Amino acid sequence: MHLWLGDERCVPEDDPEANVRMVRESLLAGARDGAPVLHAVPSPEVPEDAAWLYGRKVLEHMPDGVFDVVLLGMGPDGHTCSLFPGHPVLGVREAPVAPVRDSPKPPPERVTLTLPVVRRARLTLLLVTGEDKREALEKALAGDRSIPLALLGRGLDEIACDAAAAPYDS
């Protein structure tokens, strides 16, 4: 099994804000040697270099650029990966990975998988927790295209959320 990061903050790998560190310390902490293989974003301190290198790495392992499974989270503003509302990176059409500058959420420099790559995944899962995300999830499900998650359209296969984030009274 191979694990790829949907996005990464442009900080050193040992920084407490680094997604790769979080994955290593939580998900992989009890894993046997060699399973799974984690693909970290190379040279994350420079977003353009990191995006180009990571994009090449993705395409070397998956020439069609199609992931089997993509697991997404969502922020209170409806962002997923580092695809933020109104950000120019939402317009990327060809590159599998893009640099993000001026992120509305710190740190400002990041690297992210692009919408076309996430859309093409064979299975896309979304995990949402917390009342602060309910409104954004409701908008996304209603097709509000100001919410990046809604831009996945039919590319989102399953949603799991806790009761606090659930947009409908049940």
Residue 170: inside a domain: no
Residue 94: inside a domain: yes
Residue 13: inside a domain: yes
Give the tokens for residue 66: 């199609």
Indicate if the pLDDT at residue 43 is higher than 80. Answer: no
- 124 pLDDT band, cuts 50/70/90, is very high
Exposure b/e, 5-16, CB count within 10 A at least 16 = b: bbbbbbbeeeee
pLDDT of 113: 97
Residue 168: inside a domain: no
Residue 169: inside a domain: no
Residue 144: inside a domain: yes
Indicate if the pLDDT at residue 54 is higher than 90. Answer: yes
Residue span of the structural domain in which 38 resides: 2-161
Q: Within 13 A of 9's CA, how many CA atoms are on the CB side?
A: 18
Bond from prior residue into 36 cis (ω within 30 degrees of 0):
yes
Structurally, how many domains does the chain consist of? 1
Instruction: Indicate which CATH number applies to the domain containing 144.
Output: 3.40.50.1360
Residue 166: inside a domain: no
pTM: 0.92
Residue 134: inside a domain: yes
Residues in the chain: 170
Exposure b/e, 117-131, CB count within 10 A at least 16 = b: bbeebeebebebeee
